Amino acid sequence: MASGQILVVDDEPDIRSLIKEILEDEGYQVSTAENAEAAREVRRQSRPDVILLDIWMPDTDGISLLREWAERGGLPCPVIMISGHGTVETAVEATRLGAYDFVEKPISLAKLLLTVERAFEAGQLKRENEGLKRQVPVPLEPVGSSRPMQALRGQLERLAGHDTWLLMMGEPGSGKESLARWLHEKSARRIGPFVTVAPGSLAREHATQALFGLEDSGGVQQGLLEQANGGTLFLDEVAELDPELQLRLSSTLERRELIRCGGREPVNLDIRVVAATAQDLDNLVAAGRFREELYYQLKVVPLAVPALRERVEDVPELLQYYADFFANRDKLPYRLFPVAVQNRLRNYGWPGNLRELRNLVQRLLILGSVPEVDLIEVEQALGHGAGTRAPRGEGFDIDYGLPLREAREQFERVYLLRQLHEAGGSVGKLAKVVGMERTHLYRKLRDLGVDVKAVARED
């Protein structure tokens, strides 16, 4: 990875050449522009880490260009003004618009390098802080000493040394995003952004702009793909991409460049892609519901993430890990999980995987009043204790101890299973009964772990 990308905007060829040579000797990648129009074009095609901007230029002066950037969504990065004969008013205006610092002509080599270095560090710190704000605050470190986790950790450590794209396959809640973040932090791209794309959460009418960005007379809006430049793009549940987006994404990844909505010229794309799915993409490809070319682009290295029930020997270690984590992060009282409790939780099925265990520990720390967790409160937290469940309907109890999403999934599974039995195992009949489009219904049944063929055999 390069030290950083610098854009030098100055109408004097000798100044541009001198600064470019000095900065390239320090390991920076340097682009130059002789005026405001050329600077706009360079910025449209790339994402500089620092801009050196001359104040006095023939077409559009540096202050006007700075104002233009500031008014169109904020400055793209730290901007250092180059001034030969600036005034106090000019300095005040540039500072008000967000200029990072000034370098005066004739340029001092020591001052130039120090200012650029500080500006680069300030921009990097800002991006890291913004990334942290977007992150779900969960531990990154893969926890567990079981054989499956040792194998998985070893694979990730080897992959961290390469820029290979990979496809993570595992059940919902198994920790795929946390593993992707850990891989990113171990890789050479760790100073770059980590951007998560959850296709299922993108509004259909705005999904293309959200992914690929927008370019019009009002300026440039970077999409999620471009925001990941220099870092890692995590595609969460990639099977949720609609066919049009699959085609456009495949073409973009193949060329390693994107075209923004409304744009004409391509923008270079330097990203590592980590995709994740809980669905069987082989079957989706065979059924024509997932593009084969995109599947093989993403599946350079397939990585199976085990469900928690496949590594239950890690449960005691995970309980302690999350108890420490929430005690430190949320200042909750630390609680011990005695052997009897550990044993009970080792023998629990964990349908919600790591997410369910993490939520359980947090709930027990919040609601507990004694230093040790006991079996009764564990059973209540799992929904097996008196007072936590209320009978509702024929043969089904609603678990009021679960988060809304998990309770809804629990109900949907029981409801669809019963209706599927009554439909004789026919998904076509079931779709008519429940009022769902068949493709969406198949996806829902897979997500809920309903084996249609098994139901059909039973009937």
Give the domain CATH number at 345: 1.10.8.60
The parts of the chain modelled with pLDDT lower than 50 are 1-2, 133-139, 385-395
Q: Are 241 and 229 in contact (CB under 8 A)?
A: no
Asked, for residue 343, whether it belongs to a domain, the answer is: yes
For residues 128 and 233, state if they share a domain: no
Residue 126 has what pLDDT? 73
Residue 410 has what pLDDT? 74
Query: How many domains are contained in the chain?
Result: 4
Asked, for residue 398, whether it belongs to a domain, the answer is: no
Residue 129 has what pLDDT? 60
Decide which of 332, 357, 390 is a domain's last residue: 390
> 418 is in which domain, residue-wise?
403-458
For residues 298 and 320, state if they share a domain: no
CATH number for position 426: 1.10.10.60
Asked, for residue 354, whether it belongs to a domain, the answer is: yes
For residues 321 and 261, state if they share a domain: no
For residues 123 and 182, state if they share a domain: no
For residues 288 and 335, state if they share a domain: no
Asked, for residue 105, whether it belongs to a domain, the answer is: yes
Residue 174 has what pLDDT? 93
Residue 94 has what pLDDT? 81
Asked, for residue 142, whether it belongs to a domain, the answer is: no
Convert 215-234 to b/e letters by CB count within 10 Å (16 or more is b). Answer: beeeebbbbbbbbbbbbbbb
For residues 65 and 175, state if they share a domain: no
For residues 288 and 342, state if they share a domain: no
For residues 333 and 222, state if they share a domain: no
d(C-alpha 429, C-alpha 424), whole Å: 8
Residues 158-201 have pLDDT tens digits of 999 999 999 999 999 999 999 999 999 999 998 899 999 988 77
* Report field, pTM of the whole predicted structure over 0.75: no
For residues 25 and 50, state if they share a domain: yes
Residue 68 has what pLDDT? 83
Decide which of 390, 411, 441 is a domain's last residue: 390
Residue 301 has what pLDDT? 95
